[in-house]
Amino acid sequence: MTEITCKLLVIGAGPGGYVCAIRAGQLGIDTVIVESTKLGGSCLNVGCIPSKAMIHVAEEFEKAADAAAGRTPFGLTAGAPALDLKQAVAWKDGIVQRLNNGVAALLRKAKVKIVHGRARFRDGKTVTVETETGPRTIKAEAIVIATGSAPVELPFLPFGGNVISSTGALALTELPKRLVVVGGGYIGLELGTAFARMGSKVMVVEAMDRILPLYDTELTGPVSKRLTALGVEVLTGAKALGPTAKGDGLRIETADGKERSLPADKVLVTVGRRPVTDGLGLENLVLDMDGRFIRIGERCETSMRGIYAIGDVTGEPMLAHRAMAQGEMVAEIVAGLPRAWDKRGIAAICFTDPEIVSVGLSPEEAKRAGHELKIGQFPFAANGRAMTRHGEAGFVRVVAQAGSELVLGIQAVGQGVSELSAAFGLAIEMGATLQDIAGTIHAHPTLGEAFPEAAMKALGHALHI
C-alpha cells in the first residue's frame, strides 16, 4: 500500500474542499485533496450550477411560448416553440464539464495533489483511500472534512423509478407531463417552477402551513402569486404518505386529514439534505456532533485538534458560498494566519420566479434580538428599470437599528434581484448605515436604485414614492 504524507489533507472536493485546497496551495502548504466522485461536489455537478442552467432554459422557453401565444405586452409574436430537453441537458452537462476541468486546472496550478477515491479515517492523522489502483494511506498534520450533503430520502418514498431527487430531476431528458414536488423549500420550488415554465403540470406538497417557511410572507407573497399564475397547485399542511398502488402518483394526507391521490409521472422529493458521513470512519475519531452534523467552533475546528470541518457537513446554512468562505479561512488558519469566522451575514437566495434575496436579520429576527427598528421598503413598481424589463413585482427592504441607523438586514424579492446580493452583502459586511446607502450614487436606470430608495424611505424621505 503506497503511503502519502502531507501537511494538509482535504476530504471532499466540493466548493468548501476545493477552495480550501487551492488557498492552501497558494500559501505554499503541501496539500492533498481526495474526491470520491467528481471535482466540484454537489454544487457544481448536481446543485447550484445545473439547476441555474435548467432554470435559464425554462425562462427562455416560457418567453418564446408567451410570444407564440401573443402574451407579451410589447407586441412580440413568434411561432410555437419546441424544447429538446435532451439537448438542454447536454448543454447543461457541457457547462458542468467545463467547470469540472476548471477546478482540476486550478488545483493543479496551486500544486495540490488530487487523489480519486473514497476516504476513510483510521485515526485522527491517518486516512485510507480506496482508489482504482488499490488502497492508499495518507498521513497528514491537519485534515479538513468537507464531505458535504446528500438529498434526504423518505423511508416510505424511496428514490427509484418515478420517485426522484433533485439530482434525478436535473437529468430528465423527457418533460414529465405531471410532476408532484414533495417539499416547498427553495430546491423544490426552484425546480418545480422551472418545470412549470417548461410546460409540466406541477403540484407542490408541503407539510408546513406555507412555502419557503424560512422567509416572511411579504417576501414569499410574489412567489406564491407567480406559482398560481403558472398553474402550480400548492397544497400546504399536507403530508406525503407514499406512492399510489400502481406507482402512478402520490398518496397524501391533506390539511383536513383526508387521503388523496395525486397523479404524477414523476414525484420529486426535496425535503432537505443530510450530511455525508457514512463510510468515513467517524467511529475511529472522537468528534462532538450536532445531531448528524459535525460540531465546529468559530475557526471551523472540531473537538479533535488538527481536524477541521467545513460546508454542508457542519449544518445550516447549507450554501456553497458559506462552504467556500469556510474553506478559505481554514487554509489560512492551517498556514498560521490569525483568522476566525467573523462574518456579519451570508446572503441566501431563492432562484424562484421572482427571486428572493436575504442578508442579515429579517424584521422579525431583529425585533426578537431586542432592536428598535427603522424599516424602509421600496417597490419595483416604482423603479424604471423593473418596468422596462416587464418585471414589476417585488421590492427591496432595508432593516436598520433606530438611532445608530446601522443596517441589520436587507431583503428583496423581484426578477433578477439575485445580482443585488453583492451590494447587500457588502453593505452588511462593511457595517453600512442608512445614510451610507442613501448617499451612494446608484446608476440609473437599474434595479439597484431601489436599494438607496428603501434606505431613504427608512430615513423618511424616499424620492420616488
Ligand X SMILES: Cc1cc2nc3c(=O)[nH]c(=O)nc-3n(C[C@H](O)[C@H](O)[C@H](O)COP(=O)(O)OP(=O)(O)OC[C@H]3O[C@@H](n4cnc5c(N)ncnc54)[C@H](O)[C@@H]3O)c2cc1C
Assess 41 for contact with ligand X (CB under 6 A): yes
Site string for ligand X, 53-72 (x = CB under 6 A): --------------------
Assess 12 for contact with ligand X (CB under 6 A): yes
Shortest reach from residue 328's CB to ligand X, in Å: 12
Stretch that binds ligand X, among 76-84, 102-110, 143-151, 454-462 (CB under 6 A): 143-151
Catalytic residue among 56, 444, 461, 464: 444
Other Cβ atoms less than 10 A from the Cβ of 137: the count is 14
Shortest reach from residue 460's CB to ligand X, in Å: 36
Assess 136 for contact with ligand X (CB under 6 A): no
Assess 31 for contact with ligand X (CB under 6 A): no
Shortest reach from residue 432's CB to ligand X, in Å: 23
Long-range contacts of 162-165 (CB under 8 A, 24+ apart): 162/243, 162/247, 162/248, 162/264, 162/265, 162/266, 162/267, 163/243, 163/266, 163/267, 163/269, 164/266, 164/267, 164/268, 164/269, 165/268, 165/269, 165/270
Residue 250: CA count within 13 A, CB half-sphere: 31
Residues contacting residue 198 through CB under 8 Å, at least 6 positions apart: 57, 58, 61, 62, 83, 85, 175
Site string for ligand X, 157-196 (x = CB under 6 A): ---------x--------------------x---------
DSSP secondary structure letters along 218-284: HHHHHHHHHHHHTT-EEEET-EEEEE-TTSSEEEEE-TTS-EEEEE-SEEEE-S-EEE--TTS-GGG
Strand partners, 378: 396
Assess 34 for contact with ligand X (CB under 6 A): yes
Is 444 designated active site? yes
Shortest reach from residue 53's CB to ligand X, in Å: 11
Strand ranges, E, within 402-452 = 407-414
- The three cell numbers of residue 119 are 476516504
Find out whether 84 and 3 touch, Cβ atoms under 8 Å.
no
Q: Toward ligand X, which CB reaches closer, 231 or 279?
A: 279
Residue from 13, 285, 407, 456 that binds ligand X (CB under 6 A)? 13
Assess 320 for contact with ligand X (CB under 6 A): yes
**Residue appearing with cell numbers 475557526:** 299
Shortest reach from residue 355's CB to ligand X, in Å: 10
Find out whether 308 and 142 touch, Cβ atoms under 8 Å.
yes
Stretch that binds ligand X, among 46-54, 95-103, 175-183, 204-212 (CB under 6 A): 46-54
Q: Toward ligand X, which CB reaches closer, 377 or 421?
A: 421
Q: Toward ligand X, which CB reaches closer, 276 or 361?
A: 276
Residue from 211, 323, 366, 420 that binds ligand X (CB under 6 A)? 323
Assess 148 for contact with ligand X (CB under 6 A): yes
Residues contacting residue 158 through CB under 8 Å, at least 6 positions apart: none
Residue in 241, 266, 109, 242 with CA at minimum distance from that of residue 178: 266
Assess 425 for contact with ligand X (CB under 6 A): no
Catalytic residue numbers read 444
Binding site for ligand X (CB under 6 A): 11-17, 34-37, 41-43, 46-48, 51, 118-119, 146-149, 166, 187, 276, 279-280, 311-312, 318-321, 323, 351
